[in-house]
Structure 1
Amino acid sequence: MPRKSSQLPDGAPNTEGAPASGGVVAVDRALMLLKAFQEGDSSLTLADFAARTQQYKSTVLRLLASLQHFGFVQRNDDGRYRLGPEVARLARLYTGSFSLEPLVMPVLRDLVDRTRESAAFHVRQGDQRLCLYRIDSPQPIRDHIRAGDLLPLDRGAGGRVILAFEGARGEVYDQIRRDKVLALKGDREDGVAGVSAPVFGDQGQLLGALTLTLPTQRFQAEFKKVVRQAAEQLSQRLKA
């Protein structure tokens, strides 16, 4: 039987408690397993998880199976569990967002001021792209993507730019790599146009895509030059 919280081993985090208001109990329990890892832990046993979270071993085993499926934990040959690569990926996104924000946001604001259209910065997240930063157009008719939304990689200018500079094959991607900018109409959604250009880091690695989105009837050919110049400016700032 799981022990009471007063019997937690010395130094173990007290992760027991009521589920989050409006939350899902199973999700709370799974996250408790991740929080069970402490400084200096390279791996934990099933018994360690059960003791530190006050959950039955049978429950812990099922939750670990789900966490393992999504890459949050990995199971060693000896049956112990360690943190998985998905944790590291999220940590990189988290820390990277703080270092990028002071540089990306002024460029987005300038794009919106110059074009009066919506500007965003997209990064790859698995098989999708994440809208990491976004500033809306001041005009009432616009698309309504928000920062934090996930969008397809294989549709829309931002997604196709990311794919191109990650090595996607095909004539369209070859053209994107040559031009370093892409304009599309109705590719992700009917009535929406997008103009996107790649942003690179100090080692020449792709960081993401700087994208302007607008109703197709407001598209202007000059936006391609404006977006490409903004992306090049941001890349230079990131290399400084």
Structure 2
Amino acid sequence: MARQHAAARSAPDRLLAVLAAFDHGHPALSLSGISRRAGLSLTTAHRLAAALTAWGALERDAEGLYHVGLRLWELAALAPRGLALRQVALPYLEDLYEATHENVQLAVRDGTEVVYIEWLSGRSAVGVHIRVGARWPLHATGVGLVLLAHGTPAFQEGYCAGPLAAFTPYTITDPGCLRRSLAEVRRTGAAVSSRQVTEDALSVAAPVRGADGQVTAAVSVVVPQADAEVPALVPAVRLAARGISRALGWRPERTDQSV
């Protein structure tokens, strides 16, 4: 049945299926692995993998396993919300790290998920389930709450009405509670997410604005929940977010206290 469905897919769909077969859990795949995960016949998978390898989107190692190629990295560098944003933000993220020596993160929204595009980790910082490229539901993280709070009202309502996955007993799963949390983020200019993904971590996040004033990303610091000093962390995170925003061309009104 899967093969019949695969045959009906267009050539671009099949190419994208091959690329989508790779993820953080499957960074290296055999040809049969690509075939299985992409839902393609072995012959089709071989033909498409060969074409992608010739172009540079895939690379093949000495053992015959395929990996994502550097050509895709070169293209990703052109994404305004990817490497370009990371380059602008990195000095401010490093300053935030030096001030806290805790995990520092930069993230953007992709649909109903937050995608982490930079992460600086402290040697003795609290362990987190985050890496560059990782995705989490918006409601479960500090950066996600910031990005959700600054989405359109229609988007927020649609998200709140949908299923809210729980990762710990403390994860926000009640729509009314989530709406109140989003309102508090907009009021204070920062989000505090405590024990939402793991029970030992607390995140403080703030919005990053582009030249047009729209929130395009969020920056956060993740610390041990037990000894988190939130009043001291909020100004530090907001200062980093403001610095990145200004570097992106944002010029706030003198009365604007939202970042």
**TM-score, normalization by structure 1:** 0.62
Unaligned runs of 5+ in 1: 1-14, 37-90
Candidates 66, 69, 79, aligned match of 1:95? 79
Cα RMSD, aligned residues only: 2.7
Identity %: 24
Q: Which amino acid aligns with 2:140?
A: R
- The CA distance in 2 between the partners of 1:205 and 1:136, in whole Å, is 28
2:144 is the alignment partner of 1:149:
no
* Matching of residues 76-225 of structure 1 within 5 Å: 95-96=79-80, 97-139=82-124, 141-167=126-152, 168=156, 170-221=179-230, 222-225=232-235
TM-superposition CA deviations, 1:79-128 (whole Å, max 9, x none): xxxxxxxxxxxx78952223212211111111111001100111112221
Question: In the alignment, which residue of structure 1 is the partner of 2:237?
Answer: 227
Asked if 1 retains the 8 angstrom alpha-carbon contact of 2:102 and 2:126, the reply is no
Asked if 2 retains the 8 angstrom alpha-carbon contact of 1:129 and 1:152, the reply is yes
Give the CA deviation at 1:218.
3.1
Change (3 A) 1:206 1:32: farther
Asked if 1 retains the 8 angstrom alpha-carbon contact of 2:106 and 2:220, the reply is yes
Give the CA deviation at 1:171.
2.6
- The CA distance in 1 between the partners of 2:130 and 2:102, in whole Å, is 13
The structure number with the bigger radius of gyration is: 1
| Alignment: residue pair count | 167
Give the CA deviation at 1:135.
0.5
Change (3 A) 1:21 1:101: same
Change (3 A) 1:107 1:24: same
Give the CA deviation at 1:144.
4.2
Question: In the alignment, which residue of structure 2 is the partner of 1:59?
Answer: none
Give the CA deviation at 1:230.
0.8
- The CA distance in 2 between the partners of 1:188 and 1:94, in whole Å, is 31
Unaligned runs of 5+ in 2: 1-14, 16-27, 53-74, 158-178, 251-259
Change (3 A) 1:180 1:138: same
Asked if 2 retains the 8 angstrom alpha-carbon contact of 1:143 and 1:214, the reply is no
Asked if 1 retains the 8 angstrom alpha-carbon contact of 2:202 and 2:223, the reply is yes
TM-superposition CA deviations, 1:189-225 (whole Å, max 9, x none): 2111000000010111221110111210231121011
Question: In the alignment, which residue of structure 2 is the partner of 1:64?
Answer: none
Change (3 A) 1:109 1:172: same
- The CA distance in 2 between the partners of 1:129 and 1:141, in whole Å, is 20
Give the CA deviation at 1:141.
3.9
Candidates 20, 25, 29, aligned match of 2:35? 25
Q: Which amino acid aligns with 1:104?
A: A
Question: In the alignment, which residue of structure 2 is the partner of 1:54?
Answer: none
Asked if 1 retains the 8 angstrom alpha-carbon contact of 2:119 and 2:131, the reply is yes
**TM-score, normalization by structure 2:** 0.57
Question: In the alignment, which residue of structure 1 is the partner of 2:247?
Answer: 237
- The CA distance in 2 between the partners of 1:155 and 1:93, in whole Å, is 28
Task: Please state whether the residue corresponding to 1:154 is helix, strand or coil.
Answer: helix
